[in-house]
Structure formats: C-alpha cells, structure tokens
Amino acid sequence: MPQPQTGGRPITPTLSYILLALACAAPGLVREARAGATMEEAKKSYRIIVFGAHPDDCELTTGGTASRWVDAGHAVKFVSLTNGDIGHHEISGGPLARRRREESVRAAKILGVESQTLDNHDGELMPTLENRKAVARAIREWKADVVIAPRPNDYHPDHRYTGILVQDTAYMVAVPNFCPDTPALRTNPVFLYVADRFQQPNPFRPDVVVSIDPVLDRKVAALAEMDSQFFEWLPWIDGYLDQVPKDPATRKTWFREQVLKRYGASADRFREKLVDLLGPERGRAVLAAEAFQVCEYGRQPDRADLLKIFPFFGDAAK
C-alpha cells in the first residue's frame, strides 16, 4: 500500500507519531505562548520622554513620577527645549546656561533619569519646522512609548510653544519620510499633558494622578540642586526672596515645606481621582501628587493601558 506523502516525502511511522503528538499538544502550546506573551506584556519596560521649556520644568511637573518609573524598571529622559539663559535677575547668557545645565545634570542623577538641554535661547522658543524636527528626532532616538509635555495654553510663550511642538510630532514620529535620517517609530506613543491651572480654552482634566509620597524626599533633593531657580530667581521674581533662609539646614526644612505645600495642593485638587485609582483609604492618605491628562493626539490608551504605563496603583484601580 502506498505511503502518504507530505511535501513530496513519504511519511514514515515514526514521523506520523511525531506529527500526531504535535497536533495533540498544539492547543497547549498555543495557550503557553499566549500566557508567555501576557507575562512579557506585563513585564514591559516603558521608555518615557518628558519635554519642558526650561531646565527645571520637567523636574517640577514629573520629577516624582519619573523617579517612581525608574524604581519600577522603566527608562525616563528629560529634555529642555531652551537653555534657560535669561532665567535670573543677576546673571544671564552663557554663564547662566552652563549653571542651569549643571543643575539639571545633578538633579537627573538624584531622580535616576537621563537629561538633555537644547541650545535655544530662553524666551525665544518658536514652533518652527527646525524645532519640530528636533523634537521628533528626540522622541525617535529615545524609542519612546510615552511622551509628556505641557498643554499649549500657558502664561509663558516658551511653555506654550513646547506644547505645540510636541503635539505637532504626535503623528509625524511615525511617518518615515519626515526626518528620514532618524528611523520612524513603528507604534505611535501615548502623549500626555502635565497638570496646570489654566481654564481657557478648557481646564486640565486628570486622567491619571500619581502619589509621589514614596519619593518626595528625592524630588525635594533634586529640585534643591537647582538653586539658581528655587533659592534665587523665582523668589526674586515672585517677591519672597527675603523669606529664603540663609542657613543651609533651615533652608532645607523650609524648602521641603514649600514643595510639600505645592504638591499637597495637587493631591487635594485631584483627590477624587486618587480615590478612584487607589481606593478610599489609600487615596485619602496621599500627601503629594502629580497629575497627567491624555492628549487626544497619538495612541489612545484605555484604562488598562494607563495602569500598565503607571504601575503604581494595584488591584484597587482595576
């Protein structure tokens, strides 16, 4: 009797047994493969890039969450689109730009993030094609899964144009013929806004609120490295320079209180969302928080996606 053929070759009895065994095992193999994929997905290491207009903006808006991401095994990069060379009342230009870059490098080491400062003049950032390409290249080179920036409605023109520049890349980063010198991303990132208090044309909406209590001291220490801003320039421009303690130990305590007040106000403002994500007991206990809104451009995450990107909430949020 002729033997069955497969691909022009006879099937021997031994080969028949092997094929039968594989056929029987296939459903289990498929299940194992799917389970493996699910486990890999759960263990995914996200790459997050945060854009700010000046060398303290990313640290202010996202420093705590970034530090928690780093602790969870994810990679974070801060990018300042200007060098901050006019943000002081006594020094300016190259000396100030160098000082602020050094401050941001020290802060990045404390937070565990990477840091980059582009050489655009402070107060002169414009939403040009050249700057759009620079932002797109930064996102692509980082292979970002998540991109964070301010909303384009803000009191400061540099902040506004940072938001516009990042928004304008939300489609282009996946277009191969835009900036073809840098490989396009195959998957469009999730784009997020940082929190603000501006009401026009619409108020900020908190889609995710993160407790920064576990890393508050780290955030305080990172911000304190930016002494040109938090102990000199901002107190001067806002009229409270005389309140900044001269003694280093007293200044440290004073500054921690200032930071806790600022991010404590955020926790109170977004308390309802914290309770939604953490449950009543944990949500009401949060002392300090950072918040984020999903941009309608870029990949649109559902709640499950956001909980993977922000792995800080546990079963209460599911």
pLDDT > 90 in the chain, percent: 85
In the numeric block, which tokens belong to residue 47?
Answer: 């790459």
Q: In what order do the strands lie in the sheet with 190-194?
A: 114-117, 75-80, 47-52, 146-149, 190-194, 289-298, 208-211
Domain boundaries, the chain: 42-210+291-313
Q: Per-residue pLDDT for 3 more than 70? A: no
- pLDDT, residue 42, reads 53
Bridge partners, 295 (sequence order): none
- CATH number at 42-210+291-313: 3.40.50.10320
- In a 13 Å sphere around the CA of 78, the CA atoms on its Cβ side amount to 35
Q: Which of 112, 48, 109 is nearest to 76 (CA)?
A: 48
| Cβ count within 10 A of residue 53 | 27
Quote the pTM value: 0.86
Over residues 273-282, the mean pLDDT reads 97
The band of 24, judged by pLDDT with boundaries at 50, 70 and 90, is very low
Tell me how far CA of residue 134 lies from CA of 159, 184, 224, in angstroms: 16, 13, 29
Q: Which of 219, 235, 159 is nearest to 195 (CA)?
A: 159
In the chain, the largest separation of any two C-alpha atoms, in whole Å, equals: 103
* Per-residue pLDDT tens over the stretch 75-117: 999 999 999 999 999 999 999 999 999 999 999 999 999 999 9
Give the number of residues written for the chain. Answer: 318
In whole angstroms, give the CA distance from residue 227 to residue 233.
9
